[in-house]
Amino acid sequence: MTRIQIPRGTQDIMPGTVELWHYVEAKARELCRRFNYAEIRTPLFESTELFQRGVGETTDIVEKEMYSVANPRSNDALTLRPEGTAGVVRSYVENKLYGSPNQPTKLYYLGPMFRHERPQAGRYRQFVQFGAEAIGSSDPAIDAEVIGLAIRLYQELGLTGLSVELNSVGTVEDRARHREHLLAHLNGVRSELCEDCQSRIDRNPLRVLDCKNEKCKTLTKDAPSILDYLSEESAAHFEAVKDYLTALDIPYHVNPRLVRGLDYYTLTAFEIKMAEIGAVETLCGGGRYNGLVAELGGDDMPGIGFALSIERLLLALEKQGVQLPITGGIDCFVVVQTPEAKKGAFILVDQLRQAGVAAELDYLDRKMKAQLKQADRLSARFTAIIGESELANGTVVLKEMATGEQQEIKQDEFISVLAAKVQQAN
Ligand code: ATP
Ligand code: MG
C-alpha cells in the first residue's frame, strides 16, 4: 500500500519542537497582556467576498493564493483565511465594537493562515500568524505602539540586528496625485517590465514598486516617490510616527518603495527585516488601513496592525543561534523493583500527578536497569524506587539524578516531600 504523505507546504510540529512554539506563543500572549491587546478568535474560513473586498482584488493573495471552495448550500464561496485582518475587521463590524466607549479597540490573534504559494524556506501553505490590530484611533503614537509591540517580541526573544522599514503610502487623495506622475514613468518603461508589472500598471501602479524582480527594481529606481506627494496632514502624521519611534529607541529606515501587497493600506506602511535570513528576509509586515472598516460596512474608523509568522520568527532565531530557555523532562520516574510493587507504584504516580508532579512509570515490563534508562531518556529529575524491602517497611527511596543524592522517605510523607522539592525547583 502506498503511504500517504503530508501535503506540500505544510509541516508536522513534533514533540521536541512544539515546546519552542509554546514558548514563543506564550511570550506573544504575555506581551499582548502588557500592551493591553485582547485576543480575538475568528473562523478559519470566511466568505470569499470578505477577502476580495478586504484584502483587494489586485493583490497576490486574492489573485493567486486563496484556497476557496463553493459553499454547497448557497451561491457564495468560502475561503480558508489567508490573513487575519479582514476577519478581525469583519467581526469588529458585526459585533459593533465601534459603538463601545472603550476605544481604541486593541485586538490580537494567533492562528493558522492558508495560502497557495510555492513552498520554500520560510514560506508555507499553512503557517501561523501572530497579529495585532488597533482600531479607532488616528494617533501616530499608536502606529509606533503597534510597531513597538512586534519589535519588543523579537527583542525579548533575543533577536538582534532587526530593522524597521518605514514608509507612508498617503491617503487615497495623496495617491491620486502621485499616480499620474508614477504612470508617466512606468509607461516609459512598460515593455521592459515583467508581465505581472505590466498588468499592475493599469490596475494598481504603486504595486509595481513592490515587485521582487531585479529588472523591474532597476527600471523603477527613479520612479517618483509617494513621499513627495503627501498632503501636509499626511506628512505631519509620518513625521510624528518617526518621532515616536525615535522616542522608543526603535531604529527605522525610510523606504519610499515599500508599499505592501495589500490594497487597503493608508499612511504608515512598515516591514521588519532581519539582515540575513536567506531567501526570505521579511519577518513582519503591517500598516494603517483607514478606510477598511467602512469598506466592510462599519462606521468610518481608522485602524493599524501588523502580522508576523511564527515560522519565520523561529527561522530567524535559528539563524542567529538563539537558544530559547526550554526546560523539558519529567519530575519523577517511579521505578518498580518487584511485580508486587506495581499496583502501589501505579497509585503513587497518580497521587504525584494530582499533587502537581510530572510523574511516569514503566509500562513495558522492563527490568530495573532498563527502567532507570527510561527515566534517563525522559530526563527525570528524580527517581523513586519501590522494591521488596521498601514494601516491607513502607518506604520509598528517592534519588536526585543530578547529584546522586538518595534518601529514604516514609510512603505517607513521600507525596508532600517530593511535591515541595519540585515546587521549590520550578
Ligand atoms: P511576502 O512578501 O514574503 O510574500 P507578504 O507581503 O505576503 O510577504 P503579509 O501578508 O504581510 O506577507 O504577511 C505578514 C507576515 O506573515 C510576513 O511578513 C511573514 O512573516 C508571514 N508570512 C506571509 N506569508 C507566509 C508564508 N507563506 N509562510 C510563512 N510565513 C508567511
Ligand atoms: Mg506573500
**DSSP string of 219-256, one letter each residue:** HTTTSPPGGGG--HHHHHHHHHHHHHHHHTT--EEE-T
Residue 83 is labelled as binding a ligand:
yes
Q: How far is the CA of 82 from the centre of ligand 2 (A)?
A: 10
**HSE (side-chain half, CA atoms, 13 Å) at 294:** 7
Q: Report which of residues 264 and 165 the model is more confident about.
A: 165
Average pLDDT rounded to a whole number, residues 337-357: 93
Q: From 67, 133, 312, 313, give the residue whose CB has the most ligand 1 atoms within 8 Å, as the site to mutate.
A: 312
3-class secondary-structure state, position 342: helix
Position 184, amino acid: A
**Within its chain, how far is the Cα of 23 from the centroid?**
12
User: What is the predicted pLDDT for the residue at 277?
Assistant: 53
Other CB atoms within 10 Å distance of the CB of residue 70: 11
E strand segments, 136-209: 162-168
Residue 37 is labelled as binding a ligand:
no
3-class secondary-structure state, position 97: helix
Q: How confident is the model at residue 178 (pLDDT cuts 50, 70, 90)?
A: very high
Q: Are 116 and 64 in contact (CB under 8 A)?
A: yes
Residue whose grid cell is 514598486: 209
Please give the span between the terminal C-alpha atoms of the chain, in angstroms, as a whole number: 48
Taking CA atoms only, the protein residue closest to ligand 1 atom 29 is 123
Q: Report which of residues 216 and 310 the model is more confident about.
A: 310
Residues with CB under 6 A from ligand 1: 83, 115, 117, 122-124, 127, 129, 261, 280, 282-285, 307-309, 311-312
Average pLDDT rounded to a whole number, residues 310-334: 94
Residue whose grid cell is 493608508: 266
User: What is the predicted pLDDT for the residue at 76?
Assistant: 81
In DSSP terms, which residues pair with 162 in a beta bridge? 274
Burial-class residue 256 by CB neighbours within 10 Å (0-12, 13-18, 19+): middle
Q: How confident is the model at residue 219 (pLDDT cuts 50, 70, 90)?
A: confident
Burial-class residue 360 by CB neighbours within 10 Å (0-12, 13-18, 19+): middle
DSSP 99-128: GSSS-SEEEEEEEEEE-----BTTB-SEEE
Average pLDDT rounded to a whole number, residues 356-372: 96
pLDDT of 280 higher than 80: no
Q: How far is the CA of 61 from the centre of ligand 2 (A)?
A: 7
Average pLDDT rounded to a whole number, residues 380-401: 90
CA distances from 99 to 96, 146, 179, 322, 385 (A): 6, 22, 36, 44, 63
Class of domain 332-425 as given by CATH: alpha beta
User: What's the rounded Cα separation, in Å, for the pair 243 and 90?
Assistant: 32
Residue 115 is labelled as binding a ligand:
yes
Parallel/antiparallel/unpaired status of strands 126-135 and 77-80: unpaired
CATH superfamily, domain 18-171+231-319, is Bira Bifunctional Protein; Domain 2 (3.30.930.10)
Pick the atom of ligand 1 nearest to 83's CA.
10
Average pLDDT rounded to a whole number, residues 190-219: 86
Q: Are 277 and 123 in contact (CB under 8 A)?
A: no
Q: How far is the CA of 259 from the centre of ligand 2 (A)?
A: 13
Residue whose grid cell is 509606533: 144
34 sits in which H/E element: helix 18-35
Q: How far is the CA of 309 from the centre of ligand 1 (A)?
A: 7
Residue 264 is labelled as binding a ligand:
yes
Residue 92 is labelled as binding a ligand:
no
The model's pLDDT over 229-261, given as tens digits with 9 standing for 90+, comes to 999 999 999 999 999 999 999 999 999 999 876
Give residue limits of the domains in the chain: 18-171+231-319, 332-425
- Phi/psi at 110 (nearest 5 deg)? -150, 110
Q: How far is the CA of 59 from the centre of ligand 2 (A)?
A: 9
User: What is the predicted pLDDT for the residue at 13?
Assistant: 97
Q: What is the mean pLDDT of the chain?
A: 92
User: What is the predicted pLDDT for the residue at 265?
Assistant: 83
Position 94, amino acid: E
Residue 260 is labelled as binding a ligand:
yes
Pick the atom of ligand 1 nearest to 280's CA.
3
Q: How far is the CA of 117 from the centre of ligand 2 (A)?
A: 8
Q: How far is the CA of 85 from the centre of ligand 1 (A)?
A: 13
Taking CA atoms only, the protein residue closest to ligand 1 atom 6 is 261
User: What is the predicted pLDDT for the residue at 387?
Assistant: 86
pLDDT of 342 higher than 70: yes
Ligand closest to 117 (CA) is 1
pLDDT of 71 higher than 80: no
User: What is the predicted pLDDT for the residue at 276?
Assistant: 66
pLDDT of 203 higher than 90: no
The model's pLDDT over 90-149, given as tens digits with 9 standing for 90+, comes to 999 999 999 899 999 999 999 999 999 999 989 999 999 999 999 999 999 999 999 999
For residue 279, give the nearest of 64, 84, 118, 152 by alpha carbon: 118
Residue 177 is labelled as binding a ligand:
no
Other CB atoms within 10 Å distance of the CB of residue 29: 14
Q: How far is the CA of 141 from the centre of ligand 1 (A)?
A: 25
Q: From 63, 64, 129, 130, give the residue whose CB has the most ligand 1 atoms within 8 Å, as the site to mutate.
A: 129
For residue 87, give the nearest of 270, 305, 242 by alpha carbon: 305
Pick the atom of ligand 1 nearest to 284's CA.
18
User: What's the rounded Cα separation, in Å, for the pair 224 and 181?
Assistant: 7
CA distances from 46 to 13, 71, 113, 356, 399 (A): 26, 11, 12, 41, 55
Taking CA atoms only, the protein residue closest to ligand 1 atom 28 is 123
Q: Are 261 and 210 in contact (CB under 8 A)?
A: yes
